[in-house]
Homo-oligomer: A and B are copies of this chain.
Amino acid sequence: MNTSTWRTEPGTGRRTGVWFVGARGSVATTATLGALAVAGGLDPGHGMVTGLPGFAGFAGIGLPGPDELVIGGHDVVAVPLAKRAEALADAGVVPLALVRALGAELNVVDARLRQPDPFPGAPQQLAVEQIVADLREFAVREGCDRVVVVNVASTEAPYETDERHGDLAVLRAALARGPGVLPTSSLYAYAAFDAGCSFVDFTPGAGVRAIPALVQLAEKRGLPWAGSDGKTGETLVRSALTAMFGSRALRVRSWAGVNLLGGGDGASLADPAARSSKTASKRRGLAAGLGYDVDAPLHIDYVPDMGEWKTAWDHVSFDGFLGTAMSLQFTWQGCDSALAAPLVLDLARLVARAQETGGAGPLGELGFFFKDPAGSDEHRLAAQFETLLSWARTLDGPTR
């Protein structure tokens, strides 16, 4: 096996916490196994942008090494992490050999995971306090200088905000009064900021950006956050191709897509409301990438027999010179967890380092990683990558 290129860099000498919301899900389990594998020199970490082999862009800028990431998290279920990893190996997502080699390390992480209490009917402030306490205890016990909270729980249904969400003081009062004020993703963001942690919105949902009061809170605490909706498959290809059509002045006339998903995300997306969160995010990116609206029917189907795998088919019709109609089709067959996990580690490293060097508010420069980037209007992949590289160079400053 190849060893990671990371090991050639000197360590930062600091421990960085990564706290997963949905820590026993497919994405978090794969990310955890992968971080351990790369740290242990058992895998080269393909798919991790910040580990690009032979690529100087992310070296020497003070990113925490994989062996300096300490993983913990919350999950509502209690299945041991090693068992989850075995199930992923059965499904072809991760190699069984790695799961076996890293059983003990997985158990160490497992011991750090917490199940949140439900608090039915109680003010949501109670749940916030528990999360904050868990985060603080984790940081202290593990000796982490900083903790990045990463939401990799299931896709949420779209959320209707109201007057309680527009102002931080009003929000605090509402949380103290009763339940149902914030959706889960936002509740975790609130608690993260309260505990002095930075935050990554990897799953579609309200998160930080839909709640103005949370945007204010991050600003007030001087904490960075990034989102939203990790760009892993179909949308990744779309963002490469929209730029191609754009730079060649080829007029796209329609762009249809269908996604067949099995697994956990497929099941949660079988709910039409959750699905509409995801399709809305995809559509915004397409129109933004092209610079104009096109007919763009888009379907997400839950097909259980596909397991952890996803197949997407896109059909693009476009005009060449003098109105001649042409088409491009693509079929993407990927494993979402194996695509998402390395990006989650990239984001944890980059956001932690941004926090160290004084970054605050939405990190639009991380739009490269997201379907629906907060803090940026750019959707062309290559332009996003250039922005990321330029920004990464600014991280080479003193640590706060």
Contact = CB atoms under 8 A, between A and B. Distances in A.
Contacts of A295: 303-305
A287 to B, nearest CB: 15
A317 B326 contact: no
Contact of A243 (B240, B260, B338, B342): B240
A251 to B, nearest CB: 5
Contacts of A87: none
A330 B333 contact: no
Interface string A94-127: 1100100000000000000000000000000000
A299 B258 contact: yes
Interface string A267-300: 0000000000000000000000000000101010
Contacts of A335: 320, 324, 326
30 contacts: A30-B321, A43-B322, A45-B249, A46-B249, A46-B319, A46-B320, A46-B323, A47-B319, A47-B320, A47-B321, A48-B249, A49-B247, A92-B324, A240-B244, A243-B381, A295-B303, A295-B305, A297-B302, A303-B317, A306-B317, A311-B315, A313-B315, A313-B329, A321-B342, A322-B338, A327-B334, A329-B331, A330-B330, A330-B331, A382-B382
A388 to B, nearest CB: 9
A53 to B, nearest CB: 7
Contact of A94 (B243, B324, B326): B324
A341 to B, nearest CB: 5
A69 interface: no
A250 B232 CA distance: 11
A254 B382 contact: no
Q: Which 8 A-B pairs have the closest CB atoms?
A: A382-B382, A297-B301, A240-B244, A320-B338, A324-B338, A253-B305, A330-B330, A47-B321
Nearest to A299: B299
A353 interface: no
Interface in A333-352: 333-335, 338-339, 341-342
A171 interface: no
Contacts of A326: 332-335, 338-339
A181 B248 CA distance: 38
Specify which of A37, A249, A304 lies most central, judged by the most chain B CB atoms within 10 Å of its CB.
A249
A380 B333 CA distance: 23
Interface residues of A, number: 75
Contact of A237 (B244, B260, B386): B244
A303 B249 contact: no
Contacts of A305: 253-254, 295, 317, 325
Interface in A217-259: 236-237, 240-241, 243-244, 247-251, 253-254, 256, 258
Nearest to A231: B248
A236 to B, nearest CB: 7
A207 interface: no
A195 interface: no
A51 interface: yes
Nearest to A294: B305
A179 B323 CA distance: 44
Nearest to A369: B248
A382 B379 CA distance: 13
A364 interface: no
Contacts of A47: 248-250, 319-321
A75 to B, nearest CB: 21
B52 A249 contact: yes
Nearest to A310: B326
A68 B30 CA distance: 45
A93 interface: yes
